[in-house]
């Protein structure tokens, strides 16, 4: 076993699991596809979670990451039927494609009760203490932005914010931002 920044790595892992469509997902899949542990060229299998998703917009870096990752992976775990169809159209053998569900929805459902116990809706005036664990007393909007295609293009980003300002006139709207979005 090797230790890397506090993480223990097996000398020769049998499977490398990559998730999503970010640069590090593609990078890890690509490097793993080129690793050779011995003279026979054995390497770990690559399992891609959230495989088969497509926007069909190759100007998005994430779309290129999805395609490359899927095509170097040995096991493709898809979140929905369209993922199976997309991979089939791209010539991927359906023997390695598995419909497993959506990790984001699974996480949401796993932590739903804990989220409902949170006092944030009370603090924001969206629910009274007596209404705890019930639906908010009034509708609200929550905006999140993180994709470079939404935040790195100034005109596009300002267009999204203009729509968000209109929502704010109708009902309370919240925009928690991550560092790369806040920098804009």
- Higher pLDDT: 177 or 21? It is 21
Confidence label for 9 from pLDDT (cuts 50, 70 and 90): low
Distance of alpha carbon 11 from alpha carbon 148, whole angstroms: 36
Contact assessment for residue 71 and residue 92, using Cβ atoms and an 8 Å cutoff: yes
Best-predicted range by mean pLDDT (99-113, 148-162, 166-180): 99-113
What is the predicted pLDDT for the residue at 44?
93
- Higher pLDDT: 89 or 154? It is 89
Ordered domains of the chain (ranges, CATH): 2-99 (3.40.50.2000), 118-182 (no CATH)
Q: Count of CB atoms within 10 A of residue 101's CB?
A: 11
Instruction: Give this prediction's pTM.
Output: 0.72
φ, ψ at 6 (rounded to 5°): 85, -5
**pLDDT tens, 36-87?**
777 787 899 999 999 999 999 998 899 999 999 999 999 999 999 999 999 9
Distance of alpha carbon 157 from alpha carbon 114, whole angstroms: 32
Q: Indicate which residues carry an active-site annotation.
A: 146
φ, ψ at 70 (rounded to 5°): -60, -40
**pLDDT tens, 157-182?**
899 989 888 888 888 888 888 777 77
Q: How far, CA to CA in Å, does 26 sit from each of 33, 60, 90, 174?
A: 10, 14, 18, 32
Could you give the strand order of the β-sheet that contains 45-51, starting from the edge strand earlier in sequence? Answer: 15-19, 45-51, 75-78, 97-99
In which element (H, E) is residue 30 found?
A: helix 23-34
- Higher pLDDT: 29 or 148? It is 29
Distance of alpha carbon 97 from alpha carbon 79, whole angstroms: 11
Spatial CB neighbours of 65, under 8 Å, sequence gap ≥ 6: 21, 22, 23, 25, 26
């Amino acid at each position: 076993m090797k230790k890397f920044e506090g993480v223990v790595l097996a000398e020769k892992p049998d499977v490398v699991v990559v998730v999503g469509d970010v640069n590090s997902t593609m990078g890890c899949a690509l490097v793993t596809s080129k690793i050779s542990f011995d003279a026979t060229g054995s390497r770990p299998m690559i399992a891609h979670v959230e495989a088969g998703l497509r926007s069909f917009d190759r100007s998005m870096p994430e779309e290129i990451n999805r395609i490359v990752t899927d095509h170097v992976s040995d096991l493709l775990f898809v979140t929905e039927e369209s993922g199976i169809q997309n991979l089939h159209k791209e010539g991927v053998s359906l023997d390695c494609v598995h419909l497993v569900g959506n990790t984001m929805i699974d996480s949401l459902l796993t932590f739903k009760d804990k989220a409902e116990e949170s006092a944030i809706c009370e603090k924001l005036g969206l629910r009274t203490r007596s209404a705890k664990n019930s639906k908010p007393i009034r509708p609200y909007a929550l905006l999140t932005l993180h994709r470079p295609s939404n935040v790195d293009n100034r005109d596009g980003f300002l267009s999204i914010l203009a729509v968000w300002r209109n929502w704010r006139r109708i009902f309370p709207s919240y925009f928690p931002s991550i560092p790369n979005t806040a920098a804009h």
